[in-house]
Amino acid sequence: MKFLGWSYVLIISGTFFEEIINSILFIALNFTTRSYDLDTWNKRLKKFEEELKIKQNYSLDNL
């Protein structure tokens, strides 16, 4: 039962950490893409999302 308790803590802290990362990325993208149009902003956002998914998959494989 201790394992289940710790898994809930890890899931909650993991989602909280993910939200922090997403907020930081969103703010950084807003500051760096002010002079671009919406299409360029969407392309860069998709690129960041793909890189983040690759990093998340890689980190999950190493657990």
Q: How many domains does the chain have?
A: 1
pTM attached to this predicted model:
0.36
What is residue 1's three-state secondary structure?
Answer: coil
- Domain span at residue 46 reads 2-61
Higher pLDDT among residues 48 and 36, named by residue: 48
Residue 53 has pLDDT above 80, yes or no: yes
Q: Compute CA distances 61 → 6, 11, 29, 30, 38, whole Å.
A: 20, 16, 28, 31, 34
Position 13 scores a pLDDT of: 63
